[in-house]
Amino acid sequence: MTSDQRGATSSRAPGLRGRAAGHPAAALLALALGGFTIGTTEFATMGILTNIADGLDVSIADAGHAITAYALGVVIGAPLITVLAARAARKTLAVWLMSAYAVGNLLSAWAPSLEVLLVGRLLTGLPHGVFFGVGAVLGTAVVGAARRGHAVAMMMAGLTVANIIGVPLSSWAGQELGWRATFLIVGGLGLVTVVFLAALLPATPAPLGASARKEFTALGNGPLWVSFVATAVGFGGLFVVYSYVKPTLMFVTGLSEGSVPLVLALFGVGMTAGVLVGGRLVDLDVMRAVYIGYVSTALSLVVLALVGESPVPAVLALVALGVTSQVLGIALQARLMDLSPAAPSLGAALCHSSLNAANANGAFVGGLMLAGGLGYLTLAWAGALMTLLGLGVVLLFGRQSTARVDASVLDDPAPDGARPSERPGSPASVATGATDDGRTSPPAGDPSSAGDQARRSTE
């Protein structure tokens, strides 16, 4: 193909957003199903922790290392795979990631010892953050940059709906059929998700100008790592408590094992509400949503520490924690994407890497406290302290101004060898500024932006 033909093809071909626009609901449904599968897998371990401990003849604290191993897999896999797969077609990458996720769960189901289970959980965690990073970019491309919060929230809704349906059912299966049945079920669910992703996602190339070098260069972004640390510490407060929620409910609150799946379902309802609220707050003001998320999550943990011995107040406190933690999670993901505007896949993937660093930190700290003889309710106090420490990092070091994700990153591929700035009417040079409080000028994809006006003039 000649350069003229390539240029003509590029001018006629719809962009990523154009290709997905025909069936945006179907594309978001496929991504939400992926979120549901991952959410069920990620949080199912908490609901069967005592069953794993009994089945492998280890302590609850040692069984909790399975949670830490999965989280470490996410921490390692998110930046590594994102950089290595920067030029891969987005749909193809999503399908392969979910396939690997299913295989990891099946390995976990087979594990004859705690050591093999830890390897299985580590391998299962590797694709997690990358899938959500790719999905966040795809979702934004489907609905447009101006509705980015909605797109991320809809994908994350699959993860949180998993806590209403998937996690309680997998917890019940673990209790009735054995903990291995839980991992077999989620492994099968992963294979079903692969089919849906292949059928419903639009054919999508790599983002415009994507390269391993560009994604790797973004790793040198200082403010990005400040936000990463704040998330890894502050969001860890949730997991100090939630990693050990089943024994807490049974041994402190006094609930029966059979009632735990119902409580987990109620927690999932709270998380789903938090995702929807968080998406709206992010679209209004990212940094305000971050502050609201940190403060409200710390307060929820304090309340849980105070009322944890009383069944009804304890359950209500857990539901509130589900809401506030997801407001915080959505806000933190948007913040990390803002801090990596030229490499949004990496920003979104690093968000899940940092959230799972928080998962690892929380589970590890909680395990140390329990092994040291401290009670389960002390975990809630420690969680509140970690959350406030994260807020402190943001207030001291993490209030840098940002640029919203450049819409050109989500647009159609440039002619072979062309850089974004070489495209006729490219909005790549139209940077959208933001103030310290997270407010931004119109995104590049907005009809009122100079970039779009320039593009229309060339067409």
pLDDT digits (tens, 9 = 90+) for 74-87: 888 878 887 788 77
Does 256 score more than 80 pLDDT? yes
Using one digit for the tens of pLDDT, what is the confidence trace for 197-231? Answer: 888 777 666 666 655 666 666 667 778 788 888 98
pTM: 0.69
Q: Give the C-alpha separation, 48 to 183, whole Å.
A: 10
Give the mean model confidence (pLDDT) for residues 3-23.
44
Residue 439 scores a pLDDT above 90: no
Is 298 a residue whose pLDDT tops 90? Answer: yes
Residues 78 and 350 sit within 8 Å (Cβ to Cβ): yes
Q: What is the mean pLDDT of residues 24-37?
A: 82
Contact 417, 258 (CB under 8 A): no
Locus of tokens 């495209």: 423
Q: Which amino acid is at 171?
A: S
- Highest-confidence segment of 19-23, 70-74, 314-318, 328-332: 314-318
Band of residue 238 on the pLDDT scale cut at 50, 70, 90: very high
- 116 Cβ contact partners less than 8 Å away, ≥ 6 residues apart: 107, 110
Instruction: Find how far residue 415's CA is from the centre of its chain.
Output: 33
